């Protein structure tokens, strides 16, 4: 959902055989007969009926920005992740856990324990520098950047890393 710039519960369904989905999800009731015109009805392809249409935020964003903007945003965040990994690898007090495959950069601060990560994260947020929460990997505390905002720059990352 993050790279789709949509709420957490946003959803889009793509069916190979839409007729199977329609047969599974179409609902028939007296109060729905006014809606049954034989025309395409999105309610026939998911179980939401009176629930919020979860695909709408994604559809609006896609319609407004287009697939090219999504691709550019993803490329930018992955490039910032790769460059961040290089900076971390060169930092004397940090250890990169693995090269990023997408836009997650996982690393540790040498000599730190869970309480050190928490204290640093809280200060970073209180000082309004960034929002980086501690995580765990194989039972050990780590830090991780989840770079999904295309406006996040390498300069932003450098400012955060300077606090370590």
Q: What is the pTM of this model?
A: 0.76
CATH classification at residue 110: 3.90.1150.10
Residues of the chain with pLDDT under 50: none
The answer on 136 and 72 residing in a single domain is yes
The answer on 158 and 143 residing in a single domain is yes
The answer on 76 and 58 residing in a single domain is no
The answer on 95 and 56 residing in a single domain is no
Domains in the chain: how many in total? 2
The answer on 45 and 34 residing in a single domain is yes
Predicted local confidence at residue 47, as pLDDT:
66
Predicted local confidence at residue 135, as pLDDT:
96
Predicted local confidence at residue 71, as pLDDT:
94
Q: Which domain holds residue 30?
A: 18-65
The answer on 91 and 43 residing in a single domain is no
Largest CA distance in the chain: 70
76, 68 contact by CB (below 8 A)? no
Predicted local confidence at residue 56, as pLDDT:
78
Classify residue 2: in a domain, yes or no.
no
Predicted local confidence at residue 22, as pLDDT:
80
Predicted local confidence at residue 93, as pLDDT:
97
Considering only CA atoms, which of 133, 70, 61, 126 is closest in space to residue 104? 133
Classify residue 10: in a domain, yes or no.
no
The answer on 135 and 106 residing in a single domain is yes
The answer on 43 and 86 residing in a single domain is no
The answer on 61 and 76 residing in a single domain is no
Predicted local confidence at residue 33, as pLDDT:
61
Predicted local confidence at residue 77, as pLDDT:
96
Predicted local confidence at residue 99, as pLDDT:
97
Classify residue 53: in a domain, yes or no.
yes
Domain stop point among 41, 65, 89:
65
The answer on 34 and 107 residing in a single domain is no
The answer on 60 and 131 residing in a single domain is no
Classify residue 5: in a domain, yes or no.
no
């Amino acid at each position: 959902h993050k790279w789709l710039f949509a709420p957490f519960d946003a959803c889009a369904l793509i069916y190979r055989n839409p007729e199977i989905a329609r047969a599974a999800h179409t609902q028939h009731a007296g109060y729905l007969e006014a809606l049954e015109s034989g025309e395409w009805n999105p309610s026939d392809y998911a179980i939401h009926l009176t629930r919020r249409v979860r695909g709408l935020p994604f559809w609006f964003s896609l319609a407004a920005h287009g697939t090219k903007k999504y691709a550019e945003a993803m490329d930018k965040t992955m490039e910032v992740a790769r460059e961040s990994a290089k900076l971390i690898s060169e930092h004397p007090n940090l250890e990169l856990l693995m090269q990023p495959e997408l836009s997650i950069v996982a690393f540790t601060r040498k000599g730190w324990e869970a309480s050190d990560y928490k204290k640093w994260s809280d200060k970073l947020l209180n000082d309004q520098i960034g929002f980086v929460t501690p995580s765990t990997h194989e039972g050990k505390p780590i830090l991780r950047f989840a770079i999904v905002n295309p406006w996040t720059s390498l300069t932003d990352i450098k400012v955060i890393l300077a606090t370590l």
